[in-house]
Structure 1
Amino acid sequence: MNRWNVVLAGGVGSRFWPLSTPERPKQLLPLISEVPMLRDTLDRMRPLAPLSQTLVLTNASLRDAVLALEPDLPPENVIAEPRPAGTCAALAWAAQVIAQRAGGDAVMICVHADWAIGDVDAYRETLAEAARVAFEERALVTVGIVPSRPDPGFGYIQPGAPVRTGVQRVARFVEKPDRERAAQMVAEGYLWNSGIFAWCVGDLLDEIRDHTPEVQPALSAAGDDLAAFFAQVKSVAIDVGVLERSARVLVLPGQFGWDDVGTWAALHRVRTRDAQDNAMLGPTFALQATGNVVHADGTQVVLYGVDDLVVVAREGLVMITTREKAADLKTLLDALPPEVRGS
């Protein structure tokens, strides 16, 4: 089995303002550890496939930054999307590139660059198993995370009929539910929709041909011309454009401390916390303060007698909110004057 890694590293991560910017988005920031999240992702994935068989899908404006972050990554392996067009377009193009280089039986393992992973060994073992199942069953395989809580911020997968030990067909995908429905689904054995996929590239391209009119005409017409493809393709997520329409989708459960780190508040779950339950990075001092998230980028932060705050300090700007409100930074950004908001 010829394995390839595909890392989705686009997006601007506006929910991590003021640290994230279009030029330095979430995946290029050291949010969980002292190194950028994309760096962590590439290091985690390297035992599954070498950098010569790793593609990074990113915005055209970030191509140079990605190559600077990982100089050993071949430049032709950074696919620079001229415009955002959804995950289906990005993964379809990656599958075509791999098929041209390695044939349709090559297996691509797809992950995102902005996740936190608690148990790296279990993560790699699960992804390797997903690749093996995809190759042997000629199926589109997704890894569903065993939920640790009923979270309305995630999509869910309902497992269906068993196919082999630990592997089931996908009965259906469910968009983000309300909290009550999320609790019910967790009790019924639903899994979080992680966005981890594995498939033979030829199988994905076949399913796109049969089920995805938003992408297939542009893929056929563009040939090897990336710009032409992205000029024509219609935006659609891989879940909607392929997985919800295909009868070849399987799921296997994953338990390795996965978190998609969608907001500042999520860092409270994935960062190391002190004895007062604070998750802090950078020069920070806290007294009689609990449950806070602090990111101090070169600026000393002192907390006294406050709880459950998010404090982000960088380059003369300090943003303070609550962990609850951190999920809704768009409201704040829309209200800020341009000179404060920045680019």
Structure 2
Amino acid sequence: MNVILLSGGSGKRLWPLSNDVRSKQFIKFFKNDYDEYESMVQRVYRQILEVDPSASVTIATSKSQASSIHNQLGDSVSISIEPDRRDTFPAIALASSFLADVKELDPEEVVIVCPVDPYVDIEYYEALKELEAVAASGVSNLVLMGMEPTYPSEKYGYILPSSLDHVASVSRFLEKPDVNLAREYIGQGALWNGGIFAFKLGYLLEKAHSLIDFVDYDDLFARYSSLKKISFDYEVVEKEPSISVVRYNGSWKDVGTWNTLTETMHENVIGKGILHRTCENVHI
């Protein structure tokens, strides 16, 4: 697999634990099989290589986080450095150009893009391989992974497939709703949009060149700070007529809030701390 991990955010929803100086993806919250603490980026990177030892992983990140990534994953890890934070479309365009011009990846190769902060089991990465296969078949220009909702969430956007098939074309996208509207969406068969998608590298490069005036990776890197801030969903996904979604019904948590984080922690306190009986709203 060729994977781009998006790791540019500061995770300020977990402030004050996570901030501009110490981003959430580098804090060691979780325990591995050896009872050792590991960070989000370490956990995701490890799991990808467990499923596919030959996987090529490139981490798209801001220059301020590059040293943290090398510190946790080693000096050999592939990084696409963003000179400035410009949101997910510029980040993915730059990383794709990096794959083509620096790593010399064939335009027909499939690339999978996913965030660095999901809390998932190995079956999630097996599903990424299925996403890769569907994209390689050429059935659509873009292939998304849609999460089967477990409750009517207001935190996620929704994908409405054209059918209840495991792989289906996308009928439309739905913005983050209130709880009542989320129930309606789920009743129609809508899926959570987890921000995971796959495409052939050549498709994304062609799209990037049509939207950004640049020659190659070095030119795009030099122009990067002047690019419009816009998400990949708004700039590409919601405008693409040829798009499919693969259903995923395994365990998946977006560790972006305190509630979700505490659900994934193995113990109530990490480090030095005391839980008094008068404490409220603690993880128990």
Structure 1 and Structure 2 fold alike (TM over 0.5): yes
Match of 1:271 in 2: 265
Secondary structure of the residue aligned to 1:157 is strand
Match of 2:228 in 1: 234
Deviations along 1:296-334, whole A, 9 cap, x unmatched?
A: xx32222304443479xxxxxxxxxxxxxxxxxxxxxxx
TM-score with structure 1 length normalisation? 0.75
Aligned residues of 1:51 and 1:72 also touching (Cα < 8 A): no
How many angstroms does 1:267 deviate by? 2.2
- The aligned runs of 1:114-153 (5 Å cut-off) are 114-117=117-120, 119-120=121-122, 122-137=123-138, 138-153=140-155
> Which letter maps to 1:231?
S
How many angstroms does 1:247 deviate by? 1.1
Aligned residues of 1:222 and 1:229 also touching (Cα < 8 A): no
Secondary structure of the residue aligned to 1:281 is coil
Structure 2 residue 278 is the aligned partner of structure 1 residue 280? no
How many angstroms does 1:221 deviate by? 4.4
The CA distance in 2 between the partners of 1:223 and 1:307, in whole Å, is: 51
The CA distance in 1 between the partners of 2:136 and 2:85, in whole Å, is: 30
Aligned residues of 2:112 and 2:197 also touching (Cα < 8 A): yes
Aligned residues of 1:52 and 1:73 also touching (Cα < 8 A): no
> Which letter maps to 2:127?
T
Which structure is larger by alpha-carbon Rg, 1 or 2?
1
Secondary structure of the residue aligned to 1:18 is coil
Aligned residues of 2:113 and 2:197 also touching (Cα < 8 A): yes
> Which letter maps to 2:29?
L
Aligned residues of 1:152 and 1:177 also touching (Cα < 8 A): yes
Query: Structure 2, unaligned stretches of length 5 or more?
Result: 32-36
> Which letter maps to 1:190?
A
> Which letter maps to 2:207?
E
Aligned residues of 1:158 and 1:190 also touching (Cα < 8 A): yes
Match of 2:3 in 1: 5
- The aligned runs of 1:1-343 (5 Å cut-off) are 3-33=1-31, 34-47=37-50, 53-71=56-74, 73-74=76-77, 77-100=78-101, 101-117=104-120, 119-120=121-122, 122-137=123-138, 138-160=140-162, 166-210=166-210, 213=211, 216-217=212-213, 220-221=214-215, 223-272=217-266, 280-282=268-270, 298-309=271-282
The CA distance in 1 between the partners of 2:72 and 2:220, in whole Å, is: 23
The CA distance in 1 between the partners of 2:66 and 2:203, in whole Å, is: 28
The CA distance in 1 between the partners of 2:52 and 2:99, in whole Å, is: 13
Size of the alignment, in residue pairs? Answer: 276
The CA distance in 1 between the partners of 2:53 and 2:95, in whole Å, is: 16
Name the Cα RMSD after superposition.
Answer: 2.2
Residues 269 and 223 of structure 1: CA distance in aligned 2, closer, same or farther (over 3 Å): closer
The CA distance in 2 between the partners of 1:47 and 1:310, in whole Å, is: 30
The CA distance in 2 between the partners of 1:84 and 1:66, in whole Å, is: 17
Aligned residues of 1:158 and 1:171 also touching (Cα < 8 A): yes
The CA distance in 2 between the partners of 1:79 and 1:263, in whole Å, is: 26
Deviations along 1:154-182, whole A, 9 cap, x unmatched?
A: 111001158xx621111111111111101
Aligned residues of 1:115 and 1:260 also touching (Cα < 8 A): yes
The CA distance in 2 between the partners of 1:237 and 1:144, in whole Å, is: 18
> Which letter maps to 1:145?
M
> Which letter maps to 1:280?
N
Any runs of at least 4 consecutive aligned residues in structure 1 with deviations exceeding 3 A, and if so which?
Answer: 47-52, 207-210
The CA distance in 1 between the partners of 2:219 and 2:67, in whole Å, is: 20
> Which letter maps to 1:6?
I
Question: Percent identity of the aligned residues?
Answer: 29
Aligned residues of 2:98 and 2:217 also touching (Cα < 8 A): no
Secondary structure of the residue aligned to 1:103 is coil
How many angstroms does 1:207 deviate by? 3.3
Secondary structure of the residue aligned to 2:218 is coil
Match of 1:322 in 2: none
Aligned residues of 1:32 and 1:116 also touching (Cα < 8 A): no
The CA distance in 2 between the partners of 1:96 and 1:240, in whole Å, is: 20
Aligned residues of 1:48 and 1:128 also touching (Cα < 8 A): no
Q: Bigger relative contact order, structure 1 or 2, given CA contacts below 8 A and separation 6+?
A: 2
TM-score with structure 2 length normalisation? 0.89
